[in-house]
Amino acid sequence: MSQTMSQKLARDSLGNAATFEGGVYVTKNGVAELFIQTVAEREVELREIEQERNINALFKLGMQAKKEIAEGKGMTPEEVLERLRAARR
């Protein structure tokens, strides 16, 4: 849950890291200037970003494979295995 506070209130209220719970927008003249969050909140955010990137990458791979199959560039499982075996030699 996020809250909004002025720069002055932020200076007065956020000085104690032990009591800070995160999710604070600091404003200047009513405009958000800064968002402060805890390390735990940031780690969750970064995991979500990474997961989204992985999902997008898998989607792109799937779409590329679908395109290649439609263009007749696909391979049978046996052809893939043969290619992998040849690469090991």
pLDDT score of 23:
78
Residues 46 and 71 reside in one and the same domain: yes
32-61: b (≥16 Cβ within 10 Å) or e: eeeeebeeeeeeeeeeeeeeeeeeeeeeee
pLDDT of 51? 98
Q: Are 32 and 51 contained in the same domain?
A: no
* 69 and 32, same domain (yes or no): no
Q: How far apart are CA 4 and CA 25, in angstroms?
A: 5
> 14 near 24, Cβ under 8 Å?
yes
Looking at the fold, whether 48 and 61 belong to one and the same domain comes out as: yes
- Which range of residues forms the domain containing residue 8? 3-37
- What pLDDT is attached to residue 36? 83
**What digits encode the pLDDT tens for the residues 17-52?**
666 677 788 888 888 888 888 888 899 999 999 999
The pLDDT mean for the chain works out to 85
Does 25 share its domain with 46?
Answer: no
DSSP readout, 43-70? HHHHHHHHHHHHHHHHHHHHHHHHHHHH
Which of helix, strand or coil describes residue 42? Answer: helix
Q: Which has the higher per-residue pLDDT, 75 or 49?
A: 49
Which is more confident, 9 or 62? 62
- Per-residue pLDDT for 78 more than 80? yes
pTM summary value: 0.58
